[in-house]
Amino acid sequence: MLVVFIRTIILYTIVIVAMRIMGKRQIGELQPFELAVAIMISDLASVPMQNTGIPLLHGIIPILTMLAIQISISFITLKSKKVRDIICGKPSVLISAGKINEDVFQKELYTLNDLLEQLRTKDIYNIADVEFAILESNGQLSVVPKASKRSVTPEDLNINAKYEAPATELIIDGELIKENLKRLDYDRSTLEYELKKMGINSIKDVLFASIDCQGKLFCQAKERK
């Protein structure tokens, strides 16, 4: 039993490292060859994990081989557009200038029901509101609504919008994120002073704290039990 436990930990660690090296992508964003490699790696790991009669190296070596193949293909596709088009495929225009391209649907084995379903996930319930719809190589649908159906932007109203950047986390669950504090050139004593103004005496009592690009501090204290 101990042998199975140790083998499982080793294989799990290798699979996690391999998937991490492959890059940060969600399942729906993987290219076909990346999805195939991910499935094969998980299958290769499960065999020696279940059968202790199979040497551990017989599972590790194929996993590392698949990882090397995936990295090689990714590197090649970065350097060559032709290879990238062959391996990953090209985006397909399903709707162009408001017109449905029937031949593209047949080529991609894609149905109108598939299109309508993906449009609904983007809060578009009328195909007549779509100017362009593009099926990306990873299966995701990109949609450009018609001009009359797009959301109004500050530019449309001739409003000069202020610059906005993502807020920076300073404290998460009582832990101070020192690198963010240093990057913002924000003094710890200043932070603690602002927290005391909010009635919080210690950083450990903070559930979450962040500061936006305008210098406004947001803070929520932990609930006292």
- pLDDT for residue 99: 93
Residue pair 118/141 in contact (Cβ under 8 Å)? The answer is yes
Question: Comparing 56-70, 106-120, 181-195, 207-221, which segment has the lowest mean pLDDT?
Answer: 56-70
User: Which of 25-29, 61-65, 205-209 has the highest mean predicted lDDT (pLDDT)?
Assistant: 205-209
Specify if 143 maps to a domain: yes
The answer to whether residue 161 sits within a structural domain is no
Which of 70-79, 91-100, 101-110, 187-196 shows the lowest per-residue confidence on average (mean pLDDT)?
Answer: 70-79
- Residue where a domain stops, chosen among 56, 86, 116: 86
Which residue pairs from 158-165 have beta carbons closer than 8 angstroms and sit at least 24 positions apart in sequence? 162/214, 163/213, 164/213, 165/212, 165/213
**Count of domains for the chain:** 3
In a domain, 197, yes or no: yes
| Per-residue confidence (pLDDT) for residue 24, from 0 to 100 | 61
The answer to whether 137 touches 84, Cβ cutoff 8 Å, is: no
Do 101 and 54 belong to one domain? Answer: no
Q: What is the CATH number of the domain that holds 98?
A: 3.30.240.20
Q: What is the enclosing helix (H) or strand (E) of 40? A: helix 32-50
Which domain does 137 fall in, by range? 92-149
